[in-house]
Amino acid sequence: MVTTYQNYINGKWINSESGETYTSINPANTEEVLGYFQSSTVEDVKKAIDAASEAFPAWSKTAVPVRGDILFRLMQELEQEREVLAEIITKEVGKSLREARGEVEKTIQAMKQFSGEATRLTGETIPSYDPNIFGYTVREPLGVVGVIAPYNFPLGIGIWKIAPAIVAGNTVVFKPASNTSLISIKIMELFEKSGVPEGVLNMVTGSGSVVGREFGENPHLKAVSFTGSSDVGIALGKAVTARGGKMQAEMGGKNPSIVLEDADLDKVAESLVLSGFLDNGQRCTGTSRLIVLRSIAEELTEKLVEKARQVVVGNGFDEGVDNGPVIDESQLNVYLHYVNTAIEEGAKLEFGGKRLTENGLDKGYFVAPTVFSHVTEEMTIAKEEIFGPVIAVMEVDSYEEAIRVANNTEFGLSSSIYTKDLQKAFDFVRRIESGVTHVNVPSNYFENQYPFGGKKTSSIGPREQGSTALDFWTDYKTVYINPNY
Ligand SMILES: NC(=O)C1=CN([C@@H]2O[C@H](COP(=O)(O)OP(=O)(O)OC[C@H]3O[C@@H](n4cnc5c(N)ncnc54)[C@H](OP(=O)(O)O)[C@@H]3O)[C@@H](O)[C@H]2O)C=CC1
Ligand SMILES: O=C(O)CCC(=O)C(=O)O
């Protein structure tokens, strides 16, 4: 019996007024329906915004450390339920149980950080030129805010945005990715158990083009934080800012990894498996362009192909599986489209490039890790985000050329360089146009106590997470007081 789940508004589970539902399925076995979810309407979003508006005055007056206590309890709830949560993630998004457990662990770590931020929501006292004036700043919440999350970190990204928003004193309306609606129900249950008062956090499920679009247009949402594709994020950002709202968006990447001649190529190939193939490349920080000195290109490509051959693709629950399926049919088709385009444009397929259906994989969206060599800057796979397990090897003649090619992209999220040359490493860190960068570390490595975000079209607005997590969610008020008046 498949359960029908509801929206979470004002602390209650309620149906959408549409009377319609959609399904979330297991991408490893598309015959398995995980639940029915509300196909919500604009009216449902408005109801959630009304509930959040009513809850705002009391919540914004609640002492900040008391708000932080909720996140401390959330951390404990996550710890208690870590295995159940990992299993839902694997079932709904397809990633291996090992990776799903890692996502839960990172979310626990983030709550350690964010619950402590409650006691660090500080302003400044600033000396005045006038001896009669005492001047300072205080941080205030924005009001009712919106959070829109993607599918690839279905537990993490939602919580990493909601948690700092509510600690800052805002009330929230959340729209999860439709593909990962089940884990989002669990997110609401976890916050409820942690003591979030009615109306402070609300969730409305449904399509991006109806529910998500209303987040862009509704003037009562003072701010919207979005993670997802650049096309959607930029259009949403235009809508939000055109009505005077505040926008934060974490979007796509076309992340380069540069390999210099002095690097240990065996270690580099292992690192590239993590950054390029893991989670099927459904990582915004994943390496998709491997920029390598010509003299070592052939050897590194061979090593990478050997590693790609060893990646175990299968049901994420099975022991030893590295990669589960991609999220859905549309993502499968995106992968196949880019593989075909690369071949048509003259890239050399070294490994993979196909859907996998043998050995019981025919009911899911399984694909092979893929390596293309002889990729040039003009080719589509060197320019557009695939969000699939595809590494494009691009040969260059010098370090200078490597830097130029690495920066020749509209994106600027993450990057890596592999070298023992400290001078080049520091030079790279200074010149690379990305918001996150790495030396001898996979490009998708992150910890939640560091600020996170990109340059160029990869991000809009202040950094998420770490010490900067609350920046987007608060306004400064500047106060001048003359006590001697
Ligand atoms: N920079 C970062 O931190 C990260 C970026 N990403 C990026 O996310 C993308 C993959 O995620 P994916 O879920 O496919 O991205 P999408 O942009 O398709 O969707 C992201 C979210 O936006 C919603 N949405 C879709 N259309 C609209 C709209 N018109 N208005 C408002 N909201 C809308 C989606 O809803 P629905 O599901 O109902 O369509 C979903 O909740 C990649 O580009 C990746 O790089 C991913 C992780 C981290
Ligand atoms: O959104 C985040 O904070 C991190 C996501 C990420 O690193 C990824 O998708 O690779």
For the residues 430-459, what does the mean pLDDT come to?
Answer: 98
Give yes or no for residue 446 CB within 6 A of ligand 2: yes
How does residue 452 score in pLDDT terms, banded at 50, 70 and 90? very high
In contact, 335 and 390? CB cutoff 8 Å: yes
Return the pLDDT at 32.
98
pTM confidence score: 0.98
Q: Tens digits of per-residue pLDDT, 162-178?
A: 999 999 999 999 999 99
Q: How far is the CA of 212 from the centre of ligand 1 (A)?
A: 10
Q: Which residues of 37-56 are buried (b: 16+ CB within 10 A; e: fewer)?
A: bbbbbbebbebbbbbbeebb
Contact 176, 205 (CB under 8 A): yes
Q: What is the pLDDT of residue 420?
A: 98
Phi, psi of 12 (to 5 degrees): -125, 150
Helices (H) and strands (E) in the chain, counts: 13, 24
- Per-residue model confidence (pLDDT) at position 443: 98
CA 385 to ligand 1: nearest atom: 43
Which numbered atom of ligand 1 lies nearest the CA of 207? Answer: 38
Q: DSSP letters along 144-177, please?
A: EEEEE--SSSTTHHHHHHHHHHHHTT-EEEEE--
Q: Express as a percent the part of the chain with pLDDT over 90.
A: 100
Q: How far apart are CA 2 and CA 38, in angstroms?
A: 14
How far does the centroid of ligand 1 lie from the alpha carbon of residue 90, in Å?
19
Domains in the chain, CATH or no CATH each: 7-251+458-480 (3.40.605.10), 255-439 (3.40.309.10)
442 lines ligand 1 (CB under 6 A): no
Percent of the chain with pLDDT over 70: 100
pLDDT tens, 331-361? 999 999 999 999 999 999 999 999 999 999 9
The Cα–Cα gap between 361 and 367 comes to 10
Strands in 416-418's sheet, in edge-to-edge order, are 348-351, 370-373, 390-396, 287-293, 255-259, 416-418, 438-439
Ligand 2 lined by 248 (C-beta under 6 Å): no
Q: Give catalytic residue positions.
A: 250
Instruction: Give the confidence band of 27 by pLDDT, cuts at 50, 70, 90.
Output: very high
CB of 174 closer than 6 A to ligand 2? Answer: no
Q: Which of 268, 215, 206 is nearest to 240 (CA)?
A: 215
Q: Where does residue 11 rank: exposed (0-12), middle (13-18), buried (19+ CB within 10 A)?
A: middle
CA 188/CA 201 separation, integer angstroms: 8
Q: Is the CB of 181 under 6 A from ligand 2?
A: no
Question: Which of the listed residues 162, 227, 413, 436 should we mutate to test ligand 1's pocket, taking the one with most ligand atoms within 8 A of CB?
Answer: 227
3-state class percentages of the chain: helix first, strand second, coil last, to nearest 5: 40, 25, 35
| Predicted pLDDT of residue 225 | 98
Structure token pair of residue 457: 């079209």
Residue-wise pLDDT for 210-221, tens only, equals: 999 999 999 999
**Those residues with Cβ within 8 angstroms of residue 49's Cβ, 6 or more apart along the chain or in another chain:** 144, 173, 218, 220, 221
pLDDT (mean) for 417-444: 98
Residue 251 Cβ inside 6 Å of ligand 1? The answer reads: yes
- For residue 149, the CA-to-ligand 1 centroid distance in Å is 6
The complex scores an ipTM of: 0.96
**Could you tell me if 357 and 366 are in contact, meaning their C-beta atoms sit under 8 angstroms apart?**
yes
Q: Give 438 Cα–ligand 2 centroid separation in angstroms.
A: 14
The average confidence (pLDDT) of the chain is 98
Mutational pocket test of ligand 2: of 93, 444, 468, the residue with most ligand atoms within 8 Å of the beta carbon: 444
User: Distance (Å, rounded) from C-alpha 242 to C-alpha 152?
Assistant: 29
Please work out, in degrees rounded to the nearest 5, the angle formed at the alpha carbon of residue 101 by the alpha carbons of 74 and 183: 60
Question: What is the 427 CA–ligand 1 centroid distance (Å)?
Answer: 33
Q: Which of 159, 11, 181 is nearest to 71 (CA)?
A: 159
Report the nearest atom of ligand 1 relative to the CA of 213.
30
pLDDT in tens, 360-419: 999 999 999 999 999 999 999 999 999 999 999 999 999 999 999 999 999 999 999 999
Question: From the CB of 300, is ligand 2 less than 6 Å away?
Answer: no
CA 292 to ligand 1 centroid distance, Å: 31
Going from the C-alpha of 250 to that of each of 113, 155, 237, the distances in angstroms are 20, 16, 11
The ligand with the least distance to the CA atom of 22 is 1
Q: For ligand 1, pick from 23, 24, 38, 152 the residue to mutate: most ligand atoms within 8 Å of CB.
A: 152
